[in-house]
Amino acid sequence: MTNHLILFAQTEVPKLSLGYLLTLLVAAVVVLLFLILKLRMQAFLALILASLFVAIGSAKELTGGAGTLELAKIGDQIQAGMGSSLGFIATIIGLGAIFGAMLEHSGGAQSLAKSLLNIFGEKRASWAMVVTGFIISIPVFLDVALVIIAPILYALAHKTGKSVLAFGLPLLAGMMVTHAFVPPTPGPVYVAFELGVGLGWVILFGCLVGIPTAIVGGILVPKRMAEKLYIAPPEEFTEDHVDESKLPSFRSILLLIGLPIVLILVGTLVKENVTSGIEREAIVSSLSLEDQGDPAARKSAYEAEVKQHISDSSLSLKFLLFVGHPIIALVLATVASIVYLGYSRGFDKSELMDVTTKALGPAGIIILITGAGGVFKGIMGASGVSDALRDACQEWGIPVLLLAYLFAVFVRVAQGSATVAMVTAAGLMASMAEGLSQPQLALVVVAIAAGASACSHVNDSGFWLVSRYMMMTEKQTFQTWTIISTVVSVVGFLLAWLLWQFV
């Protein structure tokens, strides 16, 4: 018996050490940042190369058989990682881009802003701008939304004699919060997908955290800034008098934007109700001893049980689950926007074709970056780096929520892009999602979003966009926008931490 044990010990397959895997992780992040910052490489290619670096570093042939990947199969692993992410993400981002383009082209954004100004009045115009930014940035990309609303900011500053910042900073804070925290914007959609949490939960907690965060970052903080720093509207600016009777109604724009959000939330609640009777412990105990220790096997068994419960549910519940799926909800909203904002308002069909086609250009870049993020996550998992990171954090006692936030902050400050920060942090946190509830996972998404919002500075394209449209110098932009982005980040994380104590 003793001889058999000695023989087993001698033939045991070697494994890469925890220290080696963590060193590989740090080196991969350094490589990623070097490629983006020093070589000015596009984030899509940089993520692919960083993933390749990890894959080669954990290849069996180069680690004496201790690695988990084979050189000949690394290409297949990259392909699988890209494909696993794009099916859902590409569809959501593409539909969202078309939806946003229709709101922009039809004048829906201007209608929303002008109507909210009428509701709140000039004395509370900053509140109107926060709400405008929060709502309009759900379907419209932040940079596009700023370009659309900028003339309204200048008109308000000209009319009231106040600084452009009095209205611009609240608008920007509202847009920033929604762009990072609330789906169907690309960042939180991707992170939610990679962590396996329903978009309904992310929308719910994104709003619970985002609304007070927008108030602090958009109302309380900018008030003093606008009083100390006066920025006049551009001298050549002349107010564009738009015939408001030709704009879409405020109610219709709210309905169009709210439609997919409400459907997704309903779908999430119905799914929770349908699957409430599933017991994870019973599913795990039904597996073989080998599979009980395999996260992928546990997840697969749970998903199979969920599908069975859905198949056994009533027709009415199945219909709500159908329309509440994020893809179906966005399809319905996008088609409704094309019909109501396009065809019914007399737009030329060729014009609508051009508008919707152009909308997919910027979306394509984001889709590729998120796809590369899927490759990064897949390689991290297959190489064992993700498991090593999880084991180290458990050993060191670092809370999951804090780690998610710090990962995103580090990448955001280092390379500037909020999207890349969220993609990278999601890849690093994927292995730590095992065992967390849907509300907890949603708060992890919010924490990553908060971290990816931190400290916008010169390596962020948004910094220069704000500087240009708010007509500020670099120093003034640091004194205002950089501070607001950091406040949004810290307040968002603290609120997520507070909610974590209750879920």
In a domain, 397, yes or no: yes
Cβ atoms of 188 and 181 within 8 Å: the answer is: yes
- State mean pLDDT over 279-284: 69
Q: How far apart, in Å, do the first and last CA atoms of the chain sit? A: 50
Cβ atoms of 58 and 22 within 8 Å: the answer is: no
In a domain, 176, yes or no: yes
In a domain, 245, yes or no: yes
In a domain, 467, yes or no: yes
Structure confidence by residue, pLDDT tens digits, 445-489? 999 999 999 988 877 878 888 888 888 888 888 899 999 999 999
Neighbours of 316 (CB within 10 A): 9
Closest CA to 146 of 156, 133, 155, 135: 133
In a domain, 3, yes or no: no
Q: CA dihedral defined by 42, 45, 50, 53, rounded to 10 degrees? A: -140
Considering only residues 340 and 434, tell me which one the structure prediction assigns the higher pLDDT. 340
Structure confidence by residue, pLDDT tens digits, 81-133? 887 767 778 888 888 888 888 888 888 878 888 888 888 887 888 899 999 88
Structure confidence by residue, pLDDT tens digits, 173-225? 999 999 889 888 888 888 888 888 888 999 999 999 999 999 999 998 888 88
Question: Rounded to whole angstroms, how far apart are CA atoms 34 and 232?
Answer: 40
The count of structural domains within the chain is 1
Considering only residues 405 and 105, tell me which one the structure prediction assigns the higher pLDDT. 405
Q: Which domain holds residue 310?
A: 17-500
- Given a cut of 50, is residue 9 above it in pLDDT? no
In a domain, 11, yes or no: no
| DSSP-based three-state secondary structure for 69 | strand
